[in-house]
Amino acid sequence: MAARDRMGRYQVEDVLGVGSFATVHRAVDERLDTTVVVKVLAENHSLNPEIRERFIAEGRALRRVASPHVITVYDIGENDRQQPYLVLEHADRGTLAERVRALRAGGWTASRADVLAVARGLAAAVRAVHAARLVHRDLSPGNVLLRTGPDAPADTGAAGAAGAPGSLLAGTASTVVGRDERLVVADLGMCKDLARSSGLTVAGGTDGFRPPEQHGPGTVDTRADLWAMSALLEWLTDGADLPRALTRAVRRSLADSPSRRHPDVAAWLSDVEDALVPARGDVPAGGDRAGAPAAAATPARPTGRRRRPVIAVAVALLLGAGIGFGGAWGSVAWLDARPDASSGAARVAISGPETATVGTPVTFTAQVSGAEHWVWTLPTGTYVADDGSVELTARSPGSAEVVLEARAPDGTRITAVHRLEVAEPG
């Protein structure tokens, strides 16, 4: 290869993108034998000390952010033309903009699961950026990437942002972000370091996703990113039939005045999650005694206005992960702090075996009354929404907990936990 196709130990291959300031290449780290991305500052801008320093500062900023949802920078260097370059994690599944464009060509519109998958990954990324005392300032579909690798369970959920258990619908199957994918945020070239300035900044950002305070010189804080996050969700949900509560939640942070927006990422995500899991279930006819055995629950004929029956349906889901694999089937200590299994006349329960053997499928059935939506949290780290039952097959011995969550009509989250002990056959 010619010298221009190499940058140190990196063998530069095809161009992934060209911008006004930099060109992004796919490359191979020959020392580690892995694919990376090399972002090279344009030659004309490399002579400008201010732009050069901002480019290098992007790499330093990325190094300060610790999150699997923010692109990782591996190296900073300079080629033989004195152009600085950043070596970055390769997001092999493309951009969110590309994914949504391809799906819409087939008539797709966003589901609740799609919105939640994007919102949770985005929130995890921006929360980490803000924890590093940075404001991203350029969140847009082109700067949100997808890469191979499942989402990290500990890095999701509004409640999880504060160190508490994750909330309903977490990680539900999505067409936009697959179970084998992780959403990552890139391009901190426009970021503002709040630790080094008062927030006064120049105009910047992507059209359609730029908050009002970034249209010209002004003061910017973390609430600018909340505006862009809401604009991104509004773009994602265009044409979709989703709860009006989601529109209200999103538009709160689209307010012109930062003081009228959500105060932080956790509040933003909490509103989005609450909107996507409405507490619309009514009490079944005659009520249903809290704490009654799950086997005693039987469908009741709806009487009066919008009475809901107890739900006990079976839709099998076979999962190929096993106990003891990657720690996914370990004990879940924070379950002790979860809400009760009932609130008023609403309740959830799980019927199923308490013991099983390796390789033998076991089925758990949801018993839900007084709620219209529910979510399973499985020991594999997977979440399943609204299925009446789930079927699991363990591949190694150990202990596991299956969790069922719903919302009571008053909005209270109710949770049932079922423990399973798995032993070797014979």
> What is the tally of structural domains in the chain?
3
Give the per-residue pLDDT at 69: 92
Which has the higher per-residue pLDDT, 291 or 384?
A: 384
Same domain? For 299 and 223 the reply is no
Query: 35-44, 205-214, 334-343: lowest mean pLDDT where?
Result: 334-343
Same domain? For 357 and 266 the reply is no
State how far Cα 339 lies from the chain centre: 23
Give the per-residue pLDDT at 425: 86
**pLDDT bracket for residue 282 (50, 70, 90):** very low
**8-state DSSP, 272:** H
Same domain? For 130 and 240 the reply is yes
Give the per-residue pLDDT at 311: 33
Give the Cα separation of 33 and 373 in Å (integer): 47
Same domain? For 106 and 247 the reply is yes
Give the per-residue pLDDT at 186: 86
Q: In this structure, are residues 365 and 327 in contact, taking their beta carbons and an 8 Å threshold?
A: no
Give the per-residue pLDDT at 189: 55
Give the per-residue pLDDT at 406: 85
Answer yes or no: is 66 within a domain: yes
Same domain? For 152 and 259 the reply is yes
DSSP assignments along 193-249, one per residue: ETTTS-SEE---S-TTS--GGGSSSEE--THHHHHHHHHHHHHHTTT----HHHHHH
Contacts of 232 (CB under 8 A, 6+ apart): 118, 122, 139, 140, 141, 144, 209
Last residue of a domain, one of 247, 276, 305: 276
Last residue of a domain, one of 244, 276, 308: 276
Over the chain, what is the mean pLDDT? 76
Give the Cα separation of 234 and 115 in Å (integer): 10
Indicate whether 306 pLDDT > 60: no
Give the per-residue pLDDT at 396: 80
Same domain? For 135 and 163 the reply is yes
CATH number of 386's domain: 2.60.40.10
Answer yes or no: is 286 within a domain: no
Phi and psi at 255, nearest 5°, equal -65, 145
Same domain? For 269 and 335 the reply is no
DSSP assignments along 43-56, one per residue: TTGGG-HHHHHHHH
Give the per-residue pLDDT at 53: 85
CATH number of 178's domain: 1.10.510.10
Same domain? For 117 and 228 the reply is yes
Answer yes or no: is 194 within a domain: yes
Same domain? For 269 and 299 the reply is no
For the chain, give the longest Cα–Cα distance: 80
Which has the higher per-residue pLDDT, 350 or 204?
A: 350
Q: What is the pTM of this model?
A: 0.61
**pLDDT bracket for residue 389 (50, 70, 90):** confident
**pLDDT bracket for residue 63 (50, 70, 90):** confident
Which has the higher per-residue pLDDT, 272 or 188?
A: 272
Answer yes or no: is 288 within a domain: no
Same domain? For 261 and 303 the reply is no
Same domain? For 102 and 81 the reply is no
Residue 7: both structure tokens together: 């940058």
- For residue 240, CA distances in Å to 111, 141, 234, 385 come to 7, 17, 10, 19
Q: Which of 311, 329, 327 is nearest to 319 (CA)?
A: 329
Give the Cα separation of 322 and 359 in Å (integer): 9
Query: 12-21, 128-137, 278-287, 356-365: lowest mean pLDDT where?
Result: 278-287
Last residue of a domain, one of 31, 57, 88: 88
CATH number of 51's domain: 3.30.200.20
Give the per-residue pLDDT at 309: 34
Same domain? For 79 and 27 the reply is yes
Q: In this structure, are residues 135 and 242 in contact, taking their beta carbons and an 8 Å threshold?
A: no
Q: Which of 97, 117, 120 is nearest to 173 (CA)?
A: 117
Give the per-residue pLDDT at 1: 36
Give the per-residue pLDDT at 339: 53
Answer yes or no: is 289 within a domain: no
Which has the higher per-residue pLDDT, 220 or 95?
A: 95
Give the Cα separation of 192 and 178 in Å (integer): 31
Give the Cα separation of 39 and 52 in Å (integer): 13
Answer yes or no: is 250 within a domain: yes
| Boundaries of domain holding 122 | 96-276
Q: Which of 270, 276, 283, 299 is nearest to 367 (CA)?
A: 299
Answer yes or no: is 394 within a domain: yes
Contacts of 404 (CB under 8 A, 6+ apart): 348, 349, 350, 366, 368, 374, 375, 376, 377, 415, 416, 417, 418
Give the per-residue pLDDT at 144: 94
Give the per-residue pLDDT at 61: 78
Tens digit of pLDDT for each residue in 3-43?
Answer: 457 888 999 999 988 877 888 999 999 998 999 999 999 88
